[in-house]
Chains A and B, each alone.
Chain A
Amino acid sequence: MPNWNLLFRRTHLYLGLVLIPWMLIYALSTFALNHGEHFRAYRATEPLWLPLWEKDYAFEAPPDAAGLRAATQSLLADHGLSGAFFARHQGQRLNINVQNFWHPLRVTYDFTTKKLRAEERRSTPLDVLIRLHERTGYGQGGPLNNLWAFFVDLFSVATLAWITTGLYLWWKLSATRRWGWLALGGGVATLLTLLATL
């Protein structure tokens, strides 16, 4: 018979310890976003994009999404660029956003002039923090990018585990039940009131 109490306490604890950095970045960046007007001075200002280079380049965009992605990856590799990216074909332009916490790039190809242009986004430490908060998703290329997405999943699943194991551990402490019900009920009632009135 497993000791469920010990198992839940340890799961609760170790998930918390391994995810401390993510807990801190989500908390601090949320505070900055929630008080955006006070933190605007700490964000990068115009011009946000600094030109790096411009080159002549011949590029044909494949019509399908998978082909476009593969061709874009080759284009980036030809110019010594790598990392997670999004590519979007809009009219006579191909817009490529190369993600990086510190130095995100924007690469633009103009099908009319056949020019390829690279720019780097200016960043402050607060911009980096918010980028850490906002980065999600698999399939952007490379195992490390998938590892980040895995940690985002782990954080979400861990939050569900903290809730489940926390409720169990609270229930086992009978002396805390009355105040616990008040706190939990107060939270649920507040949320429902806000959902009805927002």
Chain B
Amino acid sequence: MPRQTTKASDVNVDDQEQFLQQLAEEVSWGTARLREKIADRAAHPLFVANHCAGPAPTPPLLTRKIRRKTSPVIPTPSKLIRRVHLYLALFLTPWMLIYALSGLVLNHGELVRGWHGGKFSDFEKLEERPYTAVFSADATARLIGAQVLADLGLAGSFNVQGTPAQPKLVITRNAALTAHRVTYFRAENRLLIEKQSLSTPVILNRLHFRHGYEQPFVSAKIWGFIVDLAVIGMLFWVVSGIWMWWEIKPARTAGAVVALLGFGAFGLLLATI
């Protein structure tokens, strides 16, 4: 029988790759059931073009099928889910890398601390200086903290410990890669400025713990939004992952077994420790 040929321009390149990848997986599975599926797939134009010497569908039907499946405007649900899964993951790659590495640091805290001599997150004194600003009686601790940091050229996200009535305020300026601790001794009109020593584990942990929308700075709010995006991403990867697993018939049994193992282990640990 003569081989049916299909013009490459008739078929979307992306669909070709996806089709060939799925086909390769299924061939490697190599069961009788799969051979039946491959026989069913013989109607696919690419399969016909490259592998099949059997009878081909009539040209008008073939043309309609290709147009429907490869429309660039309306992707199939499966393709849409795969693409969102992929692009969301690519955008969030730097954050997932940070969370993975800091997860290892947190899970092996003592070991990592040991590598850095046990002092890898200590603050070192930079300087002490007089500070004579005058604040009104109703000034809040945050307002005082913001002014002190602005005067030091350290404006940005910060936390304050203490109240205006107390003799000292501790202001921690949390930048992405460094942290400064400024202690304001109000009665003595004095500032003590310290800086946290830099190390990779400290930076990773600081980035891991950074979250929320409470800081009044645009970059801090964008970070909070990306944390939300990572949450949406993780939930979407779970749902879309289950969808894609179900679409790969050769992986259904093994996938169900590993998923059950995961849920079983989680349930056991949740109930016992």
Contacts and interface: CB of A to CB of B under 8 A. Distances in A.
Q: How large is the interface on B (under 10, 10 to 19, 20 to 34, 35 or more residues)?
A: 35 or more
Contacts of A13: 241, 244-245, 248, 251, 255
Interface in A126-167: 132, 136-139, 142, 144-145, 147-149, 151-153, 155-157, 159-160, 162-163, 166-167
A197 to B, nearest CB: 4
B21 A21 contact: no
B96 A14 contact: no
A21 B28 CA distance: 30
- Interface size classification for chain A: 35 or more
A101 interface: yes
Contact of A36 (B177, B212, B220, B251): B212
B129 to A, nearest CB: 25
Interface string B76-91: 0000000100111111
Interface in A14-65: 14, 16-24, 26-28, 30-31, 33-37
Q: Which DSSP category, helix, strand, loop or mixed, fits chain A's interface?
A: helix
Contacts of B214: 36-37
Query: Which of A37, A83, A197 is packed against the most chain B CB atoms within 10 Å?
Result: A197
B211 A34 contact: yes
Interface in B204-236: 210-214, 217, 219-220, 222-224, 226-228, 230-231, 234-235
Interface string B258-269: 110111011011
A144 B262 contact: no
Contact of A20 (B21, B244, B262, B270): B262
B151 interface: no
Contacts of B109: 136-137
Contacts, number: 214
Contacts of B230: 27, 30
Contact of B107 (A101, A137, A170): A137
B176 interface: yes
A191 interface: yes
A144 B273 contact: yes
B262 A187 contact: no
Contacts of A100: 273
A149 B262 contact: no
B197 interface: no
B104 A17 contact: no
Contacts of B228: 31, 34
Name the residue in B28, B93, B157 with the highest tally of chain A Cβ atoms < 10 Å from its Cβ. Answer: B93
Given A170-B86, A175-B14, 20 more contacts: A5-B21, A9-B21, A16-B238, A16-B241, A17-B258, A20-B242, A30-B227, A31-B228, A31-B231, A34-B211, A37-B214, A163-B93, A184-B93, A187-B90, A187-B95, A194-B222, A194-B223, A196-B176, A198-B156, A198-B157
25 contacts: A3-B28, A6-B28, A16-B237, A17-B242, A17-B258, A18-B262, A27-B234, A27-B235, A31-B228, A34-B227, A35-B213, A99-B273, A100-B273, A144-B269, A155-B103, A157-B100, A160-B101, A166-B86, A172-B21, A173-B86, A179-B87, A180-B90, A188-B94, A190-B222, A190-B226
Interface of B: 12-14, 17-18, 21, 24-25, 28, 83, 86-97, 99-101, 103-104, 106-110, 156-157, 174-177, 210-214, 217, 219-220, 222-224, 226-228, 230-231, 234-235, 237-238, 241-242, 244-245, 248, 251, 254-255, 258-259, 261-263, 265-266, 268-270, 272-273
Interface of A: 3, 5-6, 9-10, 13-14, 16-24, 26-28, 30-31, 33-37, 83-84, 99-101, 132, 136-139, 142, 144-145, 147-149, 151-153, 155-157, 159-160, 162-163, 166-167, 170, 172-176, 179-180, 183-184, 186-188, 190-191, 193-198
